[in-house]
Chain A
Amino acid sequence: MAHAHESNTKRIWFVFGLLSVITIIEVAFGIVRPDFLFKTDFLKMNLLNWLFIILTIVKAYYIVWAFMHLEGEKKSLRTSIVAPLVFLILYLCFILLIEGDYIYDIFKTGTIKWNF
C-alpha cells in the first residue's frame, strides 16, 4: 500500500463532478430526444441509445477506476476482474439479443397471430 497516507480528495470531487455532468447530459437528452439522433439508426439501434450506452460505460469506468480504486491495484488484479466480466457480458448480450430479435421476426412474419 504505497498510497496509504496520501489524500485523494481532489480526484474524488473531480470524478463526482464528471459523473454529475454526464448524468445531467443523459437526462437532458432523454427529455428532449432530438430527432436527428432518435430517428437515425446505426447497427439496428438509434444513435441516442448508442450515446446513452457509451456514456454509461464512461460512468462505469470512472466508478470502478476511481471510486473502487482499481487504478491503484496491480495489473494482474485489474485484468482478472475486468477481463472475465467484459467477455462474459458481451457474450451474454450477443446471444440473448440476437435470439430475442429472431423471435421477434418469427412473431412478425410467422403464421401464428399472437397479439389480438
Chain B
Amino acid sequence: MEATVTSHEHALDGGPGPMGGTYGKLMMWFFIVSDALTFSAFLAAYGFSRFKFVETWPIADEVFTHFPFLHGVEAPMYYVALMTFILIFSSVTMVLAVDAGHQLNKGKVAFYMLLTIVGGLIFLGSQAWEWKNFIKGEFGAIETKGGSILQFVDKEGERVALADFAAHLPKEREQLTKSKAFWFISEDPLPTYSVEEVMEGFKNHPDILVRTEQIVDKHKVVLSREESLKRMASAHYVVEGANLIRNEYGQKLFANFFFFITGFHGFHVFTGVLINIIIFFNVLLGTYEKRGSYEMVEKVGLYWHFVDLVWVFVFTFFYLV
C-alpha cells in the first residue's frame, strides 16, 4: 500500500520532486527550454536566409560602426562588445544575489538585485541607441528597379554619403500632409534627396563609383565608372537608413531579422528587468526572509541568465560571423 501513501513532507507544497528541483524551478526550466527553441528557430531562420543570399549579405562590420562620442570614427564591434560586457556583468551580480540568498543575507541580496536592474536598464538604453543609429543610417543608397541596393564609394573605396555629392535641384514635389489638406492621401516620408538629385550629383562627380551588394573574395564589388553609370540608369528609389521594407545596408531581410531578433531579445530583457524590480521590492519587504528561502531570486536569476545566454548567441551570429 505504500505506493498510495504520500509520506513525503513536500508532497503537496511543491517541494523537491524526482529531479531534485522544486515545482517552480522546474517550470522555469521548462519555460527556458521552450524559449531557447524559439530563439534557435529565429537564428536558424536567419542562417537560412543568409545562406540563401550568401553572396549579397551585408557585412556586419560595415553596418555597426558607431560608438558614443566618437563621431565619424569607424569603431566596428566595440559597442556591441561593451553591451555584451554589461549583460555578462549584470549576470554576475544576479548570481551573486542568488549566492547571498543562500546565506539568507537580505541586505546583500537587495544590493546585488539593484545592480542587476541597473545593468539591465543600461543594456536597454544601449540597444535603443544601436537601433537609432541603424534606423537613421549613415550614407544612404539607391535602390534599383530590380530591388538591389547601390552604395557609393570614392576612388580609394571609402564610403561616400549622398549628402556629399547630391545636387540641389529646384523642388517640384512637396510632402503631402494632412495639414496641407491632403487628408484623403497618405504617403511615406520623402527622402532628403530625390532620385534626380542623386543622379545629377553622380554625373557631376566623376570620382564617385557604385559599390554593389555582390561579395567577391570577402569584399563588396566596386564597379568601374562606365559600369556605374550604366547601373545608375536603373535607379528607382533613394534609401536612407532602415525600416521593415528596405534598408541602405543591402538585403531587405537583413534589417527585418535585425529588428525582429534583437527586438525580441530586448523585449525579454525588458520583462526581465520588470520581474527583477518586483522581486527586488519583495526582498526589501522581507517576503523571502519570512519564507526562510530566497528561491524566488534563484528562479528569476535563471531567467536573467537565459537572457544573457541568448545575447551571447545573437552577438556571435549577428556581429561576428
Contacts and interface: CB of A to CB of B under 8 A. Distances in A.
A, B assembled together: yes
Interface string B21-52: 10000100100110011001100110111111
A71 to B, nearest CB: 12
9 contacts: A12-B99, A27-B77, A49-B321, A67-B308, A73-B19, A74-B20, A77-B26, A80-B19, A89-B37
* Contact-residue size bin, chain B (C-beta under 8 Å from the other chain): 35 or more
Report, nearest first, the 8 A-B pairs whose CB atoms are least far apart. A100-B51, A116-B146, A74-B20, A100-B48, A77-B19, A96-B48, A56-B316, A27-B81
Interface in A5-31: 5-9, 12-13, 16, 19-20, 23-24, 26-27, 30-31
Interface of A: 3-9, 12-13, 16, 19-20, 23-24, 26-27, 30-31, 38-39, 49, 52-53, 56, 59-60, 63-64, 66-69, 73-74, 76-77, 80-81, 84-85, 88-89, 92-93, 96-97, 99-101, 103-104, 107-108, 115-116
B309 interface: yes
Contacts of B26: 77
Contact of B102 (A4, A38, A89, A103): A4
B18 A23 contact: no
B61 A30 contact: yes
B85 to A, nearest CB: 7
B312 A67 contact: no
Contacts, number: 148
B316 A53 contact: yes
What is the predominant secondary structure among interface residues of chain B facing chain A? helix
B103 interface: yes
A60 B319 contact: no
Nearest to B231: A116
B96 A101 contact: no
A115 B146 contact: yes
B33 A104 contact: no
Contact of A115 (B20, B48, B56, B313): B56
A96 B61 CA distance: 25
Given A23-B81, A56-B315, 12 more contacts: A7-B103, A20-B88, A24-B81, A26-B320, A30-B76, A52-B316, A52-B320, A59-B312, A69-B98, A85-B33, A85-B40, A116-B144
